[in-house]
Amino acid sequence: MNPNKKIKVLHIVNRFNLGGLTFITAYLTRFMPNNFESLIIGGEKDDSEESCNYIFNQLGIKPIVIPEMKRSININNDKIAYQKIVKIIKEFKPDVVHTHASKAGSLGRIAASKCKVPVIVHTFHGHVFHSYFNKPKTLLIKTIEKYLARKSTAIIAISDIQKKELSSEFKICKASKIHVVPYGFDLTKFSENQSEKRISFRKNYLLDDDEIAIGIIGRLVPIKNHVFFLDAISSVLNKTRKKVRVFIIGDGEERNNLIAKCQLLNLDCVEFIKSPKKSDVTFTSWIKDVDIAIAGLDIIALTSLNEGTPVSLIEAQAANKPIVTTNVGGVENVIVKNQTAFVLEINDTNGFSNALLNLVENENLRIDMGKKGWENVNQKFNITRMINDMQNVYVSLLNNTK
């Protein structure tokens, strides 16, 4: 390709909600070299989700919103969204269409193929090939993804584990078609001014100096398995004399069910926005300045049934916090087992609670595990590395289209 030609990239995302996917696509839109021109389009967030507009505002990005592109399947909405995507492609004339996640991946890749875009790339930020749906629906989704993979110039996996899953386990496409580009973030804010941030968070949430704060961060949806987390927490609180407070950071459709679960387990809980008081379990809803929240916590947990690259674990290590997590998806590509995190199987409630208890009871262990986090994630998950990796993928694919 002409080395002087500006490379135009169109990113298509499911919806503009707060989350790791939004940060990644925003960074890829804003920080590519000057010979790239990028545009990002996507659907609106769900009512239960936090908006990501502040990220775009901070980075000076003006996304195009397609209101009809929603998570649920709706023939009329999906048709309108598809038509709008085709119109944008024809007007923007991208060299690369890069889709992210399922709905955007379906509509975007079909539209890009129809418009004969030279390079079509899709990133699996996670996948729904287990633990989301029943077997018939999962089989249908796999069949669709195999078809869409044939329309893709390349597939991007966010970890080596995910590449193996996509190629060997679920057979979405051949391994040779999959490029691994791990996430990259601005991690410095998680290591800076931690004392001040810790004081701020703990003052706001009425945390005393001798209280140990355990936090879990993410959407309150079944796949995140918060019920398992609460079962483990109940066991910890029954076994320790330490003062422990638990913070569930995020929001979603499972909030009321989780509050009911707390009541069933005799865990005192509170929705802090509605009633700002101390409690065993505090539901904070979404916190935009997650670096402040993590600084105020002592232990970070993750209990998901399925993950791509768990962003909260990268951020936790950048802030030098120890982790207890289930062994799913790309987790083991992110942490160092038994050094920065204890890793348990998804059905091992006793093991999970014992790992949490071990950290609760042992301050030196919390400090030692935490110290190893920054050195693990600093080089592997920084923005510059991700931008360079993605640039190389785009250029290589475009060169091969000659």
**Residue 228: per-residue pLDDT:** 97
**Residue 245: per-residue pLDDT:** 98
Contact 294, 322 (CB under 8 A): no
CA distances to 97, 222, 244, 245, 343 from 284, rounded to whole Å, are 37, 18, 16, 12, 26
For domain 188-377, give the CATH number: 3.40.50.2000
CA distance 305 to 51: 25
**Residue 368: per-residue pLDDT:** 96
What is the CATH class of 7-184+382-399?
Answer: alpha beta
* Domain boundaries of the chain, sorted by first residue: 7-184+382-399, 188-377
pLDDT in tens, 8-32: 999 999 888 767 788 899 999 999 9
Per-residue 3-state assignment (H helix, E strand, C coil) for the chain: CCCCCCEEEEEEEEECECCHHHHHHHHHHHCCCCCEEEEEEEECCCCCCCECHHHHHHHCCCCEECCCCCCCCCHHHHHHHHHHHHHHHHHHCCCEEEEECHHHHHHHHHHHHHCCCCEEEEEECCCCCCCCCCHHHHHHHHHHHHHHHHCCCEEEECCHHHHHHHHHHCCCCCHHHEEECCCCECCHHHHCCHHHHHHHHHHHCCCCCCEEEEEEECCCCHHHCHHHHHHHHHHHHHHCCCEEEEEEEECCCCHHHHHHHHHHCCCCEEECCCCCCCCCEEEEECCCCHHHHHHHCCEEEECCCCCCCCHHHHHHHHCCCCEEEECCCCHHHHCCECCCEEEECCCCHHHHHHHHHHHHHCHHHHHHHHHCHHHHHCCCCEHHHHHHHHHHHHHHHHHCCC
Give the pairing of strands 36-43 and 7-15: parallel
**Residue 95: per-residue pLDDT:** 98
CA distances to 20, 50, 285, 292, 294 from 288, rounded to whole Å, are 12, 9, 10, 9, 11
Q: Do domains 7-184+382-399 and 188-377 have the same CATH topology?
A: yes
Residues of the chain with pLDDT under 50: none
**Residue 306: per-residue pLDDT:** 85
